[in-house]
Chains A and B, each alone.
Chain A
Amino acid sequence: MALQGILVVELAGLAPGPFCAMVLADFGARVVRVERPGSHYDVSRLGRGKRSLALDLKQPRGAAVLRRLCARSDVLLEPFRSGVMEKLQLGPEILQRDNPRLIYARLTGFGQSGSFSRLAGHDINYLALSGVLSKIGRNGENPYAPLNLLADFAGGGLMCVLGIMMALFERTRSGKGQVIDANMVEGTAYLSSFLWKTQKSSLWEAPRGQNILDGGAPFYTTYRTADGEFMAVGAVEPQFYELLIKGLGLKSDELPNQMSMDDWPEMKKKFAAVFAKKTKAEWCQIFDGTDACVTPVLTLEEVVHHDHSKERGSFITNEEQSMSPRPAPLLSNTPAIPSFKRDPFVGEHTEEILDEFGFSREEIDQLKSDKIIESNKVKASL
């Protein structure tokens, strides 16, 4: 696999960090997730392919354990607010003095500096501070955050994986690690560069919710079907728009010009009335296989059984029979091989990990009895 032999230490946090580390694990890295003793499972459920070590970082001897792990690792991923690691004597200066090859990835909401850098926040706050949230939402409504996908996962977790890959690649030349300030405000903004770059173009000349891409256009939105389901329409180009009109059973010469924005509200009502007359399955019969850019809005369950996904094997299962998306993108020679196993329990691999990192049996026992570590080995059934 692409990341064979790469050792990652992930300090447990919410959503963005676990996702970042899961991607690394999917592509072959060995990921050790360090969790607080007594904590529950990863609420984000993104523990695929990882092993769990329960360690109390707040105790000096706990921090010392982490130091030893990082001395032999390639990547450290930490999600804490700026200054927290430094307080634990685990800042980059210290860990990179031990190990100059260490890639120290810091994944936060607001970043390592700036007036907001020590404040709490969530996806919606980072999205708001990035400027991007102000562009998302229907006409006449408040801005709407698309779940926690844009800041937590795209501008956060995924952008951080990118930074780590850049640093790993660069290290093959320089032999040195780096410190990565991956933060969700800047990551989400950078991801959305297109918005700033096209700000003065006609793409955004109307107020929020009245443009082509933000819900204003009748040919770029979703419609409800007779059975309460939805179809997605994305027919921007004239030749695709023609096919849309045809499929709807309408006549272009009886309709206003596609780009006549004043007529869009009326057109939306017209299209909505047509879509409401047939079921999702009937619309798929009409539009599947055409270039009309009309597709069903599949649910999380439906997509697993849809022809296109089935043909491609887009979904994977695991030993618990839960389905989730196969890692992307597909690499021809060294594809990702996501683990089939369930997510680890907290502290399930504490002892085996410390053993691998050179801790003696005596050291491990002492750490356990002093409650610096916790071991929740699952007993093998006989």
Chain B
Amino acid sequence: MALQGILVVELAGLAPGPFCAMVLADFGARVVRVERPGSHYDVSRLGRGKRSLALDLKQPRGAAVLRRLCARSDVLLEPFRSGVMEKLQLGPEILQRDNPRLIYARLTGFGQSGSFSRLAGHDINYLALSGVLSKIGRNGENPYAPLNLLADFAGGGLMCVLGIMMALFERTRSGKGQVIDANMVEGTAYLSSFLWKTQKSSLWEAPRGQNILDGGAPFYTTYRTADGEFMAVGAVEPQFYELLIKGCWGMLQFPSQKTA
């Protein structure tokens, strides 16, 4: 497998971190999930392929145990707010002095710096602060967060896996690890670069919910069926739109796509 022999230490947290570590485990890494003694199972249920170590990091001897693990590991994945690891004497300077090859991945909502970096938050907050939430939602309604998929998983967990893979690849040349600041605000914004890049194009000239891709167009949306189920329509190009019309109405004439 691609990540055969790679050793990952995951410090337990919610959704984004567990997903990131699960992807690494799926592709062959050996993942140790470090959980607080007395805590319950991973509520995100993303523990596939991992082994669990219950360890009290708040005790100095517990932190020392983690230090020994990291001395022999390839990746540390920690989800705590900026400053927490440093307080436990487990910051990157210390752990990378022990092990210069260690890839220290820090996966948070707001990042390692900035006025929001020590605040609590959830997917919807990171999505809001990224600018992306303002574009999502129907005409006349409030912006709508698509569950916790965009910030927690796409801009968060998956983007962090990417950073870890970049660092692992780079390490095959330099022999050194790096510190990764993977945060959901910036990750979600970067994922959605297309929005900023096409901001001035006709794609977004109408208010939210009235454009082609955000629910405005009759040929790019969902419809309810007779049995209360739904069909998705995405017929943008004229030749595909023709087939849509044909499928709906047979050979009847119908107004042109632009005015419908």
Residues of A within 8 A of B (CB): 2-3, 15, 19, 22-23, 27, 43-46, 120-125, 127-128, 132-138, 141-150, 152-154, 158-159, 161-162, 165-170, 172, 191-195, 197-198, 201, 213-215, 220-224, 230-234, 236-237, 240, 288-291, 293-300, 302-304, 306-309, 311-312, 314, 322-334
A222 and B153 contact, CB distance less than 8 A: no
Q: Kindly state the separation between the CA atoms of A290 and B155 in the bound complex, as whole angstroms.
A: 23
Cβ contacts under 8 Å, A304 to chain B:
131
User: A162 with B113: in contact, given A133-B232, A232-B133 (CB under 8 Å)?
Assistant: no
Q: Is the CB of B180 within 8 A of A330?
A: yes
Contact B166 A165 (CB under 8 A): yes
CB of A298 within 8 A of CB of B119, answer no
Instruction: Other than A15-B194, A137-B144, A323-B196, give 4 A-B pairs with Cβ distance below 8 A.
Output: A147-B195, A232-B127, A325-B193, A334-B166
Query: Within residues 156 to 192 of chain B, which ones have a CB less than 8 A from any CB in chain A?
Result: 158-163, 165-170, 172, 174, 176, 178-183, 185-187, 189-192
- CB atoms of B142 and A154 under 8 A apart: no
B196 closest partner in A (C-beta): A324
Question: When chains A and B are docked, how far (Å) is the Cα of A144 from the Cα of B144?
Answer: 9
B23 to chain A, nearest CB (A): 8
Contact at B150–A169, with CB atoms within 8 Å? no
User: Which of B31-39, B53-61, B220-228, B245-253 interfaces with chain A?
Assistant: B220-228
Q: Which of A150, A240, A331 contacts B178 (CB 8 A)?
A: A331
Task: Report chain B residues within 8 Å CB of A311.
Answer: 113-115
Contact across chains for B2 and A329 when beta carbons are under 8 A apart: no
Complex CA gap A148/B189 in Å reads: 14
Chain B residues with CB under 8 Å of A194's CB are 15, 19, 44-46, 148, 152-153
Q: A124-B232, A232-B124, A328-B155 known; A300 and B135 CB under 8 Å?
A: yes
Known contacts A133-B222, A232-B125, A291-B120: does B144 contact A329 (CB below 8 Å)?
Answer: no
Q: Using A138-B144, A162-B158, A194-B46 as known contacts, say yes or no to A326 and B116 having CB atoms under 8 A apart.
A: no
Instruction: State the CA gap A143–B155 with chains docked (Å).
Output: 22
Query: Contact between A324 and B136 (Cβ–Cβ < 8 Å)?
Result: no
The residue that B134 contacts in the complex, of A168, A215, A299, with Cβ under 8 A, is A299
Point out the residue from A193, A215, A328 that lies within 8 Å of B22, measured CB to CB: A193
Chain B contributes a number of interface residues (CB within 8 A of A) equal to 104
CB atoms of A154 and B186 under 8 A apart = no
**A146 and B170 contact, CB distance less than 8 A:** no
CA distance A146 to B142 in the complex (A): 13
CA distance A288 to B120 in the complex (A): 11
Assembled-state Cα–Cα distance A224/B192 (Å): 24
Smallest CB separation, B244 vs chain A (Å) = 11
Residues of B within 8 A of A232 (CB): 124-125, 127-128, 133, 143, 145
Whether the pair A165, B142 counts as a contact (CB closer than 8 A) is: no
Whole-angstrom distance between the Cβ of A80 and the nearest chain B Cβ: 15
* Structural contact, A329 and B182, CB atoms closer than 8 A: yes
The answer on a CB contact under 8 Å between A197 and B144 is no
The answer to whether residues A220 and B119 also contact, given A147-B213, A230-B134 and a CB cut-off of 8 A, is no
> Separation in Å of the B102 CB from the closest CB of chain A?
12
- B178 cross-chain contacts in A, Cβ below 8 A: 331-334
Q: Is B146 interfacial (CB-CB < 8 Å)?
A: yes
Task: Provide the main secondary structure of the chain B interface.
Answer: mixed
Q: Are A331 and B167 in contact (CB under 8 A)?
A: yes
Name B192-207 residues within 8 Å CB distance of A: 192-201
Residues of chain B within 8 A of A147, CB atoms compared: 135-136, 195, 213-214
Are B183 and A328 in contact, with the CB atoms below 8 A?
yes
Q: Which residues of B contact A43 (CB under 8 A)?
A: 198, 201
A290 to B116, CA, bound (A): 9
Q: Which residue of B lies closest to A306 (CB)?
A: B129
Instruction: Pick from A124, A144, A146 the residue with the most CB of B within 10 Å.
Output: A146
Which residue in chain A gives the minimum CB-CB distance to B152?
A194
Across the interface, which residues of B come within 8 angstroms of A332, CB to CB? Answer: 178-181
- Distance (whole angstroms) from the CB of A268 to the closest CB of chain B: 10
> Are A172 and B169 also in contact (CB < 8 A) when A138-B144, A295-B128, A326-B190 are?
yes
Q: Which of B143, B178, B191, B223 has the most A CB atoms < 10 Å from its CB?
A: B191
Could you tell me if B45 and A201 are in contact, using CB atoms closer than 8 angstroms?
yes
Residues in A neighbouring B180, C-beta threshold 8 A: 329-332
Name which residue of chain B comes closest to A229, CB basis. Answer: B134
Question: In the complex, what distance in Å separates the CA atom of A303 from the CA atom of B196?
Answer: 11
B213 and A166: CB pair below 8 A? no
**Distance to closest chain B CB from A55 (angstroms):** 23
The interface residues of chain A lying within 8 Å CB-to-CB of B121 are: 234, 293, 295
| Residue ID in chain A nearest B132 by CB atoms | A149
In the complex, which of the residues B141, B192, B233 contacts A124, with contact meaning CB atoms closer than 8 Å?
B233
B49 in the interface, Cβ–Cβ < 8 Å? no
> Once the chains bind, are B234 and A122 in contact (CB under 8 Å)?
yes
Which A residues are CB-close (under 8 A) to B224?
142
Q: How far is the CB of B199 from chain A (nearest CB, A)?
A: 6
Distance in angstroms between the alpha carbons of A191 and B191 in the assembled complex: 13
Q: Mark B83-118, 1 if CB is under 8 A from A, else 0.
A: 000000000000000000000000000110111110
Q: In the complex where A232-B127, A308-B114, A333-B174 touch, is A300 in contact with B196 (Cβ < 8 A)?
A: yes
Once the chains bind, are A220 and B122 in contact (CB under 8 Å)?
Answer: yes
**Which residues in A have their C-beta under 8 angstroms from that of B162?**
23, 158, 161-162, 165, 329
* A296 and B128 contacting across the interface, CB-CB below 8 Å: yes
Within 8 Å by CB of A149, from B120, B138, B192, B221, lies B192
Inter-chain contacts of B145 with A (CB < 8 A): 215, 221-222, 232
Task: Let me know if A153 and B191 touch, CB within 8 A.
Answer: yes
Interface membership of chain B positions 3-41, coded 1 if the CB is closer than 8 angstroms to chain A and 0 otherwise: 100000000000100010011000100000000000000
Please state if B2 and A170 are interface contacts (CB–CB under 8 Å): yes
Chain B residues with CB under 8 Å of A158's CB are: 154, 158-159, 162, 191
